[in-house]
Amino acid sequence: MLKKIVILLFVTCFACFNTVFAAESGGMPQLNPEFWISQIFWLIITFGILFIVLTKVILPKISDNLETRKSQILENIETADKQKEESQKKIDEYEKIILDSKLKAKSYFNEAREKILDDINKKKAALEKDLDEEISEVEKELYDLKNKSGEKINKIAAETSAELIKELIGEEVNSSSIAAIVEDQSKINKERKDV
């Protein structure tokens, strides 16, 4: 395979040279000066016109287009940036508002709670005061009653014992001595109770 390719290349090269040299029997057309001046002349004319038209008319237009596009794109980017900033500002504002309202809500809630608690406490205190007053009144009454009842009992006991003695003996005993005895007895009772 490789041999074949090498041989083929050889043949190709040989043929190539053959053709070239065969054609060159009349000399390379490039080295024939017959039309050199004409070629130079037309080259200068065509290239000159091309150069002048490109320089004066076409290239400024293209560079203008490119410039305007560039500036347009830059402008657009600028406005986009501005709008982005604005939207960011708005977002910040919005978040601030939300935060503020949250704080406000919290404070309102706290206020309300405190008020209610205060109310509750006040009412509770008032109620307790009332209750205490009532309780103390009742206790006082009870105490009074208790004290008075003791005296009354003693009195009644002295009176009844005086009458009983009168009935039994038919003689009047000194009421003060009876009262003293009753008092002593009730005192002893009381001490027993306390113990």
Partner 1 sequence: MYQFNVYRIGPEIKLGSVDISFTNASLFMVISSLAILIIFNLGAKKKTLIPDKLQLLSELSYSFVAKMISDTAGSKAKPYFSFIFSLFMFVLFCNMFGMIPYAFTVTSHIIVTFVLAAFIFIGVTIIGFMKHGLGYLKLFVPSGVPMVLLPLIVVIEIISYLSRPISLSVRLFANMMAGHTMMKVFGGFVISLGIVGGWLPLSFSVALTGLEILVAFLQAYVFAILTCIYLNDALNLHH
Question: In whole angstroms, how close is the CB of 83 to partner 1 at the nearest point?
Answer: 19
The residue with tokens 């080259």 is: 43
Question: In whole angstroms, how close is the CB of 3 to partner 1 at the nearest point?
Answer: 15
Q: Which is nearer to partner 1, 21 or 193 (CB)?
A: 21
Q: By CB under 8 A, which span of 33-41, 89-97, 141-149, 184-192 interacts with partner 1? A: 33-41
- In DSSP notation, 128-181 reads HHHHHHHHHHHHHHHHHHHHHHHHHHHHHHHHHHHHHHHHHH-SPPPHHHHHHH
Q: By CB under 8 A, which span of 61-69, 99-107, 141-149, 183-191 interacts with partner 1? A: 61-69
Q: Exactly one of 6, 44, 125, 145 binds partner 1 (CB under 8 A); which one?
A: 44
Please tell me whether residue 32 binds partner 1 under the rule CB under 8 A.
yes
What is the tally of helices (H) and strands (E) in the chain?
Answer: 4, 0
**What is the Rg, in whole angstroms, of the alpha carbon atoms belonging to the chain?**
67
Give SS3 for 8: helix
Please tell me whether residue 40 binds partner 1 under the rule CB under 8 A.
yes
d(CA 78, CA 188) in angstroms, rounded, equals 110
Which residues contribute to the site for partner 1 (CB under 8 A)? 8, 12, 15-16, 19-20, 23-24, 28-32, 34-44, 46-47, 49-51, 53-55, 57-59, 61-66, 68-69, 72
